[in-house]
Structure 1
Amino acid sequence: MFTKKSSALLLAASVLGSVAFSPVALADEIIKLATTTSTENSGLLGAILPTFEKQSGFEVQVIATGTGKALKLARQGDVDVVMTHAPAAEAKFVNEGYGIEPRGIMANDFVVLGPKNDPAKINGSKDVNQAFAKIAAKPATFISRGDNSGTNMKELAIWNNANVTTDFNGYTAVGQGMGKTLLMANELQAYTLTDRGTFVAYKAKLDLEIKFDGGEALANPYQIILINPKKYPDLNHKGARALSDWLVSPEAKKMINNYKVQGEQLFKASQK
């Protein structure tokens, strides 16, 4: 015969058992994705990942940071998969044996924003190197992310190609993500380099315009890279591969191409 005490114990055990074996409590159903602030700031991940989660049963935890920090987290085995936009840094990551199977997901481009009156007269420059040289020669105010992100890496490469050092008056590195950097550049009416997606997402808040864009030098490709299981065998490699496979699927490509902000397409899915 069951007493009230034994019934209470059985009920407690049942509740504890349901918690212990609940799917949401299982670590192997969580995918830790380190990615760039641009994929988060643009709203893309919030738009497409719920579909993957519903279909797969995995939960994706997004850690949005600069590319340098994202790759560092991956090197340390703190995340299951990484999606970034700095080809040289990504190649090094793979060559060092930390990453495997890099796959192109999508691309957009970088643009140079500036005040409407364009004090450095960069509009109409023959290339982005000349545009940056004009900003330094003025000198005009330039706000850099300064956070070792993919955008910051691209910016520094352009200064280098333009044979310009960044010690000119007006150059300020703020150590912030793209969204905050745009707001600071707007407040100071400064030039800055941004990915087009984040600019479109923030455009309604800004009194800045695209003053230079175009050309292969400003291409901005994104890749997803799996973490080498030989380095970190205990990561959620099954979930990471499922996410990688889904992001290159026809369904995901269609969602990426169809994602728009204020009527503008932000990313173009890779064709391969």
Structure 2
Amino acid sequence: MIRNVIRAAWIAVGLTAAPVSAEEPFIVVQSTTSTQNSGLLDYILPGFEAETGIDVRVVAVGTGQAIRNAINGDGDVLLVHSKLAEDQFVADGWGVERFDVMYNDFVLVGPKSDPAKVRGGMDIVAALTAVSEVEAPFASRGDDSGTHKAEMRLWDWADADPTDASGTWYRETGSGMGATLNVASGMGAYVLTDRATWQSFGNRGDLEILVEGDPRLFNQYGIILVNPDKHPQVRVSAGQRFIDWLIGPDGQAAIASYKLEGQQLFFPNAK
């Protein structure tokens, strides 16, 4: 409903639709929960759809699942945030070429009581070490998403394997970011989240941002056309048109202009 209203507004201000061929009226984009839950896609896609006549159908799951879906041929474009996994996707022949699109960052959120005493720090590895030492409740997505991959990389740098404590102080939800934040709010637990989802999350309860600003919390997003040599049904021209728009001036400007409560959530950096 929201996207339909915004799409109508784009048309009303005089954008000229350039119809796509009847064979390619839509594309399927395998993407992440953060691009959807933050409201970014609802904001930017109506502009592309009004301009091109191409309907963008988004499957919002964790990055790992999005990549598996694309490998299975269930999509035309991949828009996710785990560069190592994205590069591997292309190297293995499943994707044509990867492009940087935008970035934001991760933050460590936790209860105001802060049992690990990490508030105000900028060293995420030291913060996770402190959390594990006091065995403070920690909620993890545990779903092979881009956020979960980043979290596990940070635990590795902290020389810790919290999965040894799975089911005790370390709780794996197997769910998306919003659901995991809900669990953390209910438990009074620490949780790693992308800033965009946190900014748009309503059920914060006693949670607040405790650690931010570490360069290791950088969160890059990339976009890839699924390889038609692997899956001939890929809508190549429409998919590439979307990629070109997103990494071009119009898409990059749309990303930059999206704000929530006055705060910019994503920063375009296509080359």
TM-score by length of 2: 0.88
Greater mean alpha carbon deviation, residues 119-128 or residues 178-187: 119-128
Matching residue's letter, 2:114: D
Unaligned runs of 5+ in 2: 1-18
Q: C-alpha separation between the residues in 1 aligned to 2:193 and 2:58?
A: 21
**Residues 1-272 of structure 1 aligned to structure 2 (within 5 Å):** 28-125=24-121, 127-166=123-162, 167-168=164-165, 169-203=168-202, 205-272=204-271
Q: C-alpha separation between the residues in 2 aligned to 1:135 and 1:70?
A: 30
Per-residue CA deviations over 1:60-101 (Å, capped at 9, x if unaligned) read 100000000000011111101100000111111111011122
SS at the partner of 1:28? coil
Per the TM alignment, residue 123 of structure 1 is displaced from its structure 2 partner at its CA by 2.1
Q: C-alpha separation between the residues in 1 aligned to 2:138 and 2:98?
A: 33
Q: C-alpha separation between the residues in 1 aligned to 2:21 and 2:112?
A: 52
Q: C-alpha separation between the residues in 1 aligned to 2:127 and 2:59?
A: 33
| Identity score, percent | 43
Q: C-alpha separation between the residues in 1 aligned to 2:205 and 2:239?
A: 36
Per the TM alignment, residue 122 of structure 1 is displaced from its structure 2 partner at its CA by 1.3
Matching residue's letter, 1:98: W
Per the TM alignment, residue 254 of structure 1 is displaced from its structure 2 partner at its CA by 1.3
Q: C-alpha separation between the residues in 1 aligned to 2:75 and 2:265?
A: 26
Q: C-alpha separation between the residues in 1 aligned to 2:259 and 2:124?
A: 26
Q: C-alpha separation between the residues in 2 aligned to 1:40 and 1:107?
A: 15
Matching residue's letter, 1:149: S
Per the TM alignment, residue 206 of structure 1 is displaced from its structure 2 partner at its CA by 3.9
Per-residue CA deviations over 1:121-142 (Å, capped at 9, x if unaligned) read 1124452111101001011000
Q: C-alpha separation between the residues in 2 aligned to 1:76 and 1:124?
A: 43
Matching residue's letter, 1:188: M
Greater mean alpha carbon deviation, residues 204-213 or residues 226-235: 204-213
Matching residue's letter, 2:87: A
Per-residue CA deviations over 1:17-73 (Å, capped at 9, x if unaligned) read xxxxxx999562110000000000000000010110010110010000000000001
Highest CA radius of gyration, 1 or 2?
1
SS at the partner of 2:75? coil
RMSD between aligned residues: 1.7
Q: Judging changes above 3 Å, is the alpha-carbon distance between structure 1 residues 240 and 206 closer, same or farther for their aligned structure 2 residues?
A: farther
Unaligned runs of 5+ in 1: 1-22
Q: Judging changes above 3 Å, is the alpha-carbon distance between structure 1 residues 115 and 205 closer, same or farther for their aligned structure 2 residues?
A: closer
SS at the partner of 2:58? strand
Q: Judging changes above 3 Å, is the alpha-carbon distance between structure 1 residues 93 and 125 closer, same or farther for their aligned structure 2 residues?
A: same
- How many residues get paired? 250
TM-score by length of 1: 0.88
Q: C-alpha separation between the residues in 2 aligned to 1:121 and 1:75?
A: 43
